[in-house]
Structure 1
């Protein structure tokens, strides 16, 4: 089987390349910037001719995305919606048999605590961030395209591990600055997913019946303050914990974003997405992935964290 991995230079993409190679898949990889990866072809999925990428490909694993707490809505739509639509169309024309999309559980977030959320749980009428909105639109397109080309998606929660550029780097950055905000006292529950667990779930989804989406986590939820404690011990950094009420944190983030836009748009230290992600509980029910895919989390947070400091 020949697979195309988009976003192959990212945390999930690299994990997929490793897992697929270990199981004997023939690989083609792509990202916007050059990378030392198997049969690599640099491409911007929004503008490039996608036919060379898809020639001879049986399965597409679509990991490429603009995943950020900050940015213009038009940028998220281009990178996450337009690119996905173009890739779906090109893959179907090329005779690709399977298409697996890396979605996000951010589309569940509504500003309240949500626990053990299943895939059929009601979604908010309005997504809380442009990122979540764009991924929701892209996921809808992927599932609607299921037909002769079987299309599935996974919603992995808080991917971390080697090559992570978001979750742990941001946390470690706050530790190095000397203060970690504890929004709502750090009591919010958060699922995490090691990159290898997420990659294995995508591979399992490639052989499942089409038109489905599955939640994916590493099977254990942590209070944010406990994640900070574990990461703090592992890093050896000294820092203080600053309790902040949720409403105050959201007001500060709103003001920080307005100030950042007035100064040219650089991402502020505190964003509304960060406040919502770290100040409200969001945990996922992964029983469908266990049942339908035979998915089993293999990497504990402590094990996964070790590779981030190796």
Structure 2
């Protein structure tokens, strides 16, 4: 950290469900130590990545709102704990820029909602949730890179600034799955359920995990990612000068093309510990 002006924290170990202890040891504790070390070394600005789902569904439109811990998703709780730690650590000489990212997609991703969703659609067992009417704030990895660059260069920021980051347009879940159906032959869901039924179904799938040889068909964390977040790029444009370029359709096509080559088996919901 010595001599560093701006630190971009883009590293994480992540899990879409369970794995509480691994998330604490491999993500939360190292990140808290990194924050402590960076501040002590005189780093002027710490740029952190978080998620637009941190405060979903009620308060995500305001990126400065505190996250809402969800006990069913330990890793999200740790993401929120890091946001809270950065709020406390922020000072005029240790500025924090918190980027709440939408659903990341595009080339080079080892985990994400699309690689989890695709093999589950093939089972014909995944339902629409509220008819697929909620929006997915998909953001291309290249636009995330632009957001980092904007956060590095921005001036006149307060000690703690948080912004939502997404692509130019947020499609509905139905639009995304329809694209997967029309261009890649994936089946569309055959029925729809409300969130009030989707969460208990996810809970049941999690409870069955110890006795079946495959990962849960649906988890409560996946349902949570389908909640409406009502986010936009207005604040990021005003404060950071962020202007996303990559349309969600091209981003999804890029990721699916790469998955056909690289993903020979369904992607696991947690990064392996090696």
Q: Please say whether Structure 1 and Structure 2 have the same fold, judged by a TM-score greater than 0.5.
A: yes
Cα deviation, residue 217, structure 1: 0.8
CA distance in 1, matches of 2:170, 2:107: 20
Match of 2:175 among 226, 231, 236: 226
1:253 aligns with 2:202: yes
Aligned length: 251
Note closer, same or farther for the CA distance 1:264–1:178 as it changes in structure 2 (3 Å cut): closer
Q: Which residue in the other structure is 2:30 paired with?
A: 83
Cα deviation, residue 149, structure 1: 3.0
CA distance in 2, matches of 1:225, 1:105: 19
List gaps (5 residues or longer) in structure 1: 1-53
Q: Is the 8 A contact 1:109 1:282 kept in 2?
A: yes
1:268 aligns with 2:213: no
Q: Which residue in the other structure is 2:84 paired with?
A: 140
The farther-off stretch of 199-208 and 75-84 is 75-84
1:119 aligns with 2:63: yes
Q: Is the 8 A contact 1:176 1:239 kept in 2?
A: yes
Q: Which residue in the other structure is 1:22 paired with?
A: none
Q: Which residue in the other structure is 1:74 paired with?
A: 21
Q: Which residue in the other structure is 2:147 paired with?
A: 201
Match of 2:75 among 112, 127, 131: 131
Note closer, same or farther for the CA distance 1:101–1:125 as it changes in structure 2 (3 Å cut): closer
1:211 aligns with 2:211: no
CA distance in 2, matches of 1:88, 1:307: 34
CA distance in 2, matches of 1:283, 1:275: 16
Q: What TM-score, normalized by structure 1, do the two folds share?
A: 0.72
Match of 1:241 among 189, 193, 198: 189
Note closer, same or farther for the CA distance 1:85–1:124 as it changes in structure 2 (3 Å cut): closer
Which structure features the higher share of strand residues?
A: 1
Higher RCO (Cα < 8 Å, 6 or more apart): 2
CA distance in 2, matches of 1:228, 1:239: 8
Note closer, same or farther for the CA distance 1:128–1:118 as it changes in structure 2 (3 Å cut): farther
Q: Deviations over 1:91-147 (max 9, x none)?
A: 23334332110011221125xxx5871224565476663222211110121232223
Note closer, same or farther for the CA distance 1:257–1:143 as it changes in structure 2 (3 Å cut): same
CA distance in 1, matches of 2:48, 2:95: 11
CA distance in 2, matches of 1:99, 1:266: 39
List gaps (5 residues or longer) in structure 2: 259-274
Q: Which residue in the other structure is 1:292 paired with?
A: 239
Match of 1:153 among 76, 85, 98: 98
Q: Is the 8 A contact 1:70 1:267 kept in 2?
A: no
SS at match of 2:128: strand
Q: Which residue in the other structure is 1:171 paired with?
A: 117
Cα deviation, residue 258, structure 1: 1.2
Q: Is the 8 A contact 2:170 2:248 kept in 1?
A: no
